[in-house]
Amino acid sequence: MVSKILIPVTVICLLASCINQEKKSTQMNPFFEAYNTPFEVPPFDKIRNKHYLPAFEEGIKQHNEEIKKITASDKPADFSNTIEALDLSGSLLNKVNHVFSNLKEAVTNDSLQEIARKVAPILSKHSDEVNLNEQLFARVKGVYDCRSSFKLNMEQTRLLEETYKRFVRGGSNLSAEKKLQLQKVNKELSLLDLKFGDNMLTETNNYKLVIDKREDLSGLSESVIEGAADEAKAQKLEGKWVFTLHKPSWTPFLTYANNRSLREKLYKAMYSRGNNGNGFDNKKVINKLINLRLEKANIMGFASWSDFVLDDCMAKTPANVYKLIRQVWSPAIKRAKEEVQDMQTLIDKEGGKFKLQSWDWWYYSEKVRKEKYDLDEEQIRPYFVLNNVREGAFEVAHKLYGISFERLKDMPVYHPECEVYEVKDGDGSELGILYMDFFPRASKKGGAWMTNFREQYIGKDGKNIRPVISVTCNFSKPTADKPALLSFDEVETLFHEFGHSIHGLLSQCNYQGLAGTNVARDFVELPSQVLEHWASEPEVLKNYANHYKTGEVIPQALIDKIVKAGKFNQGFLTVEYLAAAILDMDYHTITKMGDVDIEQFEKNSMDKAGLINEIIPRYKSTYFAHTFSGGGEYSSGYYSYIWAQVLDNDTFEAFKEAGNIFDPKVAYSFRINVLERGGTDEAMNLYLKFRGKEPSIIPLLKNRDFN
């Protein structure tokens, strides 16, 4: 997942009282001067919560002055004094917002959450004031209407088109009445987004399964038991074992714990987050969100939120999204039903007198995998030491693109667990700085994501400003006597998010608005997902998979088992994902506002899709953060993972056709035509320049053994 920072802004009067209280701090505010740090990374050791509000206020003030300078110019609008100037504006606001937004997700606290609640509507208002500035839009439109006379190159043309489109999609062509209506809706949406995320984080952190009988740990590995004991100690429950709703905790419990009733208890707690009828229930929040999104879409002249969102994506229409989903759903649900039968047969064989339920899937699918392939997760986990996997990912990037990574010491970090790397190109030139933050904590939201503290772009002085990228995950922690050992799912997650970081680091664009991962939502997952393919390649595994005790390279026999089992459980994995994508689309193709019974809507959606009872959506509505939080970046966009998987499987096919997964010609073409180009052209055009033809769905179906 890639998380983008949305830059907006202002109701200065709301900040005034806070600013008066912080006058002393503003004099020493680290945001108000150039970062005097190595590589000009944020001085995390000097930034305090008290610095954010003054910096936001000053950032808004400066941005408004820059906008005023553009609109007050007596020179005719052209690309340089309007479009380029606008792209370079708001540097202080970008500066503080990148730090604040990232730290709120990774190391939040009550103070940061309170600041977010104050700032969100202010940023929303400022964004609207920029997008709805009539004088500014008149200049942008003037350049756009006369674009053929300016002799712009391809990237300049693209920036102009994207800038004009952003203003139109931001409401610049609306009537005065509708502009006011839009501003009101945007403000409410920004607050609901925060509310959803805060509720989810609280619900996740509030639950713990406490076990005080050793026999209830039957089936679990010693490393999992040790981790649960460490968690208990941290929560002052020494002598007990604690399992939480963080994925590295609940996943192994559901997969290996023999106590079925406890598996059910933990599983239901996981999927009930935000749906417990307490002060952190998200059903009303969702209801308001989907209605407000529909209202905004209608204001903008679209029948549904999905129509509005997809108009700016590769898919273009809801019909195209549903068409792709159906193409994959049919073979996936067929395979899932076969997997159910395999597990039910095993249950019956063992004398179990019950029908397989959703909370049984992890446990019995692992048993079937062990029976079919003589392979279970605990056999391979000792070979996946986090540090080695990270180095393996670095080596893949080096072999493909010639880049290198050097660990930096004594760098400012926002948390002691952060690792920092300098990234260099093959010729020794600097590409950027990479922060990596791997382990779960109560102050960090769940999941994994890549974002940045600085975009790549060419500055006013012609200097190539290199990016500062961040990869944040929630992996299994090390224990007292073991290093952090990853599941293979976590291995793929590391490669995935690292793939996003490569996209950002290799960017060679002139403008921030087009650089790095600033691409269509259903294209952004291509660079991340394609890198996952290398994680399980035998020659790559032998490079990074070493036993944590003996240093032994993973045996070929075990690699063979991993490869053979690679397509195992694909019915489940595909169906649970597609179910969530369908749920996202169904919510956002609603065309009539009104109260929605969230639980009933979800049931009807899944029944219509034909979801079997033994599987639930990967994300049920009340904790579906991809679509209801994070700025709604993946609303009507969760399908983009499968859309991009068509692209990434077709991309990896190009390497296989060349007979070398590190083929230098294919790698170079992918780098210069996709990774370096950001959003400087239409996504399909970028892909066609790399591949020479449109992508085929066949490699995807083949990779999942669906054809």
Whether residues 104 and 34 fall in one domain: yes
Position with higher pLDDT, 88 vs 27 = 88
Tell me the C-alpha distance between 187 and 198, whole Å.
17
368's tokens? 């079937």
pLDDT digits over 195-224, tens only?
999 999 999 999 999 999 999 999 999 989
Q: Could you tell me which of 699, 488, 631 has the C-alpha nearest to residue 1?
A: 631
Residue 15: is its pLDDT beyond 70?
Answer: no
CATH (domain of 506): 1.10.1370.40
Per-residue model confidence (pLDDT) at position 632: 81
Does residue 414 fall inside a structural domain? yes
Does residue 215 fall inside a structural domain? yes
Whether residues 166 and 213 fall in one domain: no
Residue 374: is its pLDDT beyond 70?
Answer: yes
Whether residues 154 and 67 fall in one domain: yes
Per-residue model confidence (pLDDT) at position 531: 98
Type of residue found at 620:
K
Per-residue model confidence (pLDDT) at position 481: 87
Per-residue model confidence (pLDDT) at position 223: 87
Tell me the C-alpha distance between 450 and 432, whole Å.
14
Does residue 691 fall inside a structural domain? no
Confidence bin at 10 (pLDDT 50/70/90): very low
Pairing of strands 468-472, 430-437: parallel
104's tokens? 């709120």
Whether residues 502 and 386 fall in one domain: yes
Does residue 137 fall inside a structural domain? yes
pLDDT digits over 395-453, tens only?
999 999 999 999 999 999 999 999 999 999 999 999 999 999 999 999 999 899 999 99
Residue 333: is its pLDDT beyond 60?
Answer: yes
CA distances from 139 to 67, 156, 183, 544 (A): 11, 16, 22, 55
| Mean of per-residue pLDDT scores for the chain | 94
Residue 25: is its pLDDT beyond 90?
Answer: no
Per-residue model confidence (pLDDT) at position 480: 84
Tell me the C-alpha distance between 539 and 655, whole Å.
14
Confidence bin at 516 (pLDDT 50/70/90): very high
Whether residues 165 and 71 fall in one domain: yes
Does residue 684 fall inside a structural domain? no
Tell me the C-alpha distance between 598 and 606, whole Å.
12
Per-residue model confidence (pLDDT) at position 7: 45
497 noted as active-site residue = yes
Residue 99: is its pLDDT beyond 60?
Answer: yes
Per-residue model confidence (pLDDT) at position 114: 95
3's tokens? 């998380």
Residue 294: is its pLDDT beyond 90?
Answer: yes
pLDDT digits over 524-554, tens only?
999 999 999 999 999 999 999 999 999 999 9
Does residue 405 fall inside a structural domain? yes
Whether residues 136 and 224 fall in one domain: no
pLDDT digits over 339-369, tens only?
999 999 999 999 999 999 999 999 999 999 9
Model-level pTM?
0.90
Domain closes at, from 544, 577, 605: 544
DSSP at 253: H
Does residue 248 fall inside a structural domain? yes
Residue 11: is its pLDDT beyond 60?
Answer: no
Please tell me which residue in 162, 339, 366, 497 is annotated as part of the active site.
Answer: 497
Per-residue model confidence (pLDDT) at position 479: 87
Confidence bin at 376 (pLDDT 50/70/90): confident
Number of domains in the chain: 3
Whether residues 229 and 162 fall in one domain: no
For 295, list phi and psi in degrees, rounded to 5: -60, -45
310-325 burial string, b = 16+ CB within 10 Å, else e? Answer: beebbbeebebbbebb
Per-residue model confidence (pLDDT) at position 1: 81
Type of residue found at 357:
Q
The parent domain of residue 506 ranges over 381-544
Whether residues 144 and 234 fall in one domain: no
Pairing of strands 449-454, 468-472: antiparallel
Type of residue found at 485:
L
Whether residues 243 and 160 fall in one domain: no
Whether residues 146 and 216 fall in one domain: no
Q: Could you tell me which of 321, 367, 340 has the C-alpha nearest to residue 571?
A: 340
Percent of the chain residues topping a pLDDT of 70: 97
Q: Token match 């600041």: residue?
A: 115
257's tokens? 């714990």
Catalogue the long-range contacts made by 212-219 (C-beta closer than 8 Å, 24 or more residues apart).
Answer: 212/239, 212/240, 212/241, 216/257, 216/259, 216/262, 217/241, 217/257, 218/257, 218/258, 218/259, 219/256, 219/257, 219/258, 219/259
Domain closes at, from 544, 564, 582: 544
Confidence bin at 16 (pLDDT 50/70/90): very low
Tell me the C-alpha distance between 612 and 614, whole Å.
6
Confidence bin at 5 (pLDDT 50/70/90): low
Residues 614-642: what's their mean pLDDT? 94
Per-residue model confidence (pLDDT) at position 511: 97
Confidence bin at 4 (pLDDT 50/70/90): low
Per-residue model confidence (pLDDT) at position 408: 98
Confidence bin at 27 (pLDDT 50/70/90): low
Whether residues 167 and 234 fall in one domain: no
Tell me the C-alpha distance between 420 and 435, whole Å.
5
3-state SS assignment for residue 421? strand
How many CA atoms lie less than 13 Å away from 381 in the CB half-sphere?
21
Does residue 399 fall inside a structural domain? yes
- 134 and 99 Cβ atoms separated by less than 8 Å: no
Residue 496: is its pLDDT beyond 70?
Answer: yes
Domain closes at, from 173, 198, 230: 173
Whether residues 540 and 444 fall in one domain: yes
Residues 612-640: what's their mean pLDDT? 94
